[in-house]
């Protein structure tokens, strides 16, 4: 008998497979594992919309069973237990008995509020403002920003929660960056911009939210960078405006000619909104003059 690929072999084949075939023939309840140890068969089932029923052996870590690898993306909680870190079943958790696992996605919130919220992966569409009620006042406020701290993007109330999220909630202290040349929105990545800002200033990347505003032709109007406080905003403005736009520049899109400044409270409208507002005012003025002449 020899060992290869973590299993024992003899002239007739894989030893544990052969032994288990004999066990089935005589109705023996125990099973042999790869290490030729006798184990008790168990059932590992997955509840919710991802329902599956799997067979395993007692005393094995979950990762060493036939548990689907893609389900490890979820937070697994035994049926009947309250979702919490202490009750989570990990890859390395040893399973001794039959168990039903319920998959959840985890919403981790940091910043001016902190919380952990588990949402069952039940096949339903869960939106941020409906499923995470404590965020609703921040999502509806102009004074705060709610962002995805992994992708460095702004989150809206209708964001669908289809995966685990790390969310940051911050007061709105914003920097606007306008470019002197045309740049396509599709050529800009919020995550890359946040990384470049972090490299320039030392600000933690997960605390930087980036919005890229474009026009109807797909060109960048301006980039809005939200930061935790005004002092960090001033630091970003200073660093961006002092970038040397030469052949040695290593600051990505900020190597293009640009101007950075703090976004004031009365500059909440995007440029496209200002255009709409301007057209409305012009229309009102024309209507007023027409009536005066009649």
Lowest mean pLDDT among 27-36, 119-128, 142-151, 192-201: 27-36
Q: What is the 3-state secondary structure (H, E, C) of 143-200?
A: CEEEEECCCCEECCCCCECCCCEEEEEEECEEEEEEECCCCEHHHCCHHHHHHHHHHH
pLDDT given at position 244: 85
Match 């959840």 to its residue by tokens: 104
CATH, domain 172-263, list 1.10.760.10, 3.30.70.330, 3.40.50.2000, 3.40.50.2300:
3.30.70.330
Which residues pair with residue 275 across a beta bridge? none
Measured between its terminal Cα atoms, the distance across the chain in Å is 107
CB 115 within 8 A of CB 109: yes
pLDDT at 55: 80
What is the pLDDT at residue 279? 40
When the candidates are 2.20.25, 3.10.20, 3.30.43, 2.60.120, the CATH number that belongs to 105-170 is 3.10.20
Residue 294 per-residue DSSP state:
-
Mean pLDDT (whole number) for 35-49: 76
Q: Which residue has the higher pLDDT, 213 or 264?
A: 213
pLDDT band at residue 40, thresholds of 50, 70 and 90? Answer: confident
| Sequential DSSP letters for 205-260 | GGG-EEEEEE-TTSBEEEEEEEESSHHHHHHHHHHHHT---STT--SGGGGSSEEE
Task: Give Cα separations from 169 to 52, 141, 148, 157, 294 (angstroms).
Answer: 37, 11, 9, 13, 55
pLDDT per position as a tens digit, 256-291 = 889 999 987 666 544 444 443 434 344 444 454 555
3-state secondary structure of 76: strand
What 51-59 contacts at long range (C-beta under 8 Å, 24+ apart), as own/partner pairs, is 56/95, 57/31, 57/33, 58/95, 58/96, 58/97, 59/33, 59/94, 59/95, 59/96
- The b/e string for 21-32 (b: 16+ C-beta within 10 A; e otherwise) is eebeeeeeeebb
Task: Identify the pLDDT of residue 286.
Answer: 46
Q: Distance (Å, rounded) from C-alpha 42 to C-alpha 57?
A: 5
pLDDT of res. 163: 93
Task: Judge whether residue 59 has pLDDT over 90.
Answer: no
d(CA 35, CA 6): 8
Burial 197-227 (b: 16+ CB within 10 A, else e): bbebbebeebbbbbbbbbeeeeebbbbbbbb
Local structure of 139: helix, strand or coil: helix
Mean pLDDT of the chain: 82
More confident residue, 281 or 233: 233
């Amino acid at each position: 008998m020899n060992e290869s690929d973590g299993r024992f072999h003899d002239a007739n084949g894989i030893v544990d497979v052969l032994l288990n075939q004999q066990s089935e023939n005589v109705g023996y309840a125990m099973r042999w594992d790869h290490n030729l140890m006798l184990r008790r068969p168990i059932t590992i089932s997955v509840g919710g919309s991802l329902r599956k029923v799997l067979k395993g052996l007692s005393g094995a870590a979950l990762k060493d069973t036939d548990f689907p690898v893609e389900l490890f993306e979820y937070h697994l909680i035994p049926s009947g237990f309250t979702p919490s870190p202490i009750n989570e079943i990990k890859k390395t958790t040893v399973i001794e008995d039959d168990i039903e696992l319920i998959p959840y996605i985890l919403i981790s919130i940091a910043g001016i509020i902190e919380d952990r919220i588990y949402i069952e992966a039940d096949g339903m569409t869960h939106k941020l403002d409906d499923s995470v009620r404590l965020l609703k006042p921040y999502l509806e406020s102009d004074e705060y920003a709610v962002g995805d701290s992994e992708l460095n993007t702004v989150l809206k109330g209708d964001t669908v929660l289809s995966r685990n999220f790390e969310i940051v909630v911050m007061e709105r202290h914003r920097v606007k960056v306008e470019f002197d040349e045309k740049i396509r929105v599709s050529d800009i990545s919020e995550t890359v911009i946040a990384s470049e800002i972090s490299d320039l200033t030392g600000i933690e990347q997960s605390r930087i939210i980036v919005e890229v505003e474009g026009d109807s032709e797909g060109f960048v109007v301006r980039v809005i960078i939200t930061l935790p406080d005004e002092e960090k905003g001033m630091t970003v403005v200073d660093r961006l405006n002092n970038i040397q736009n030469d052949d040695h520049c290593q600051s990505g899109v900020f190597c293009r000619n640009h101007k950075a400044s703090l976004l004031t409270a009365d500059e909440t409208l995007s440029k496209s909104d200002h255009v709409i507002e301007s057209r409305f005012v012009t229309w009102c003025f024309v209507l007023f003059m027409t009536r005066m002449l009649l």
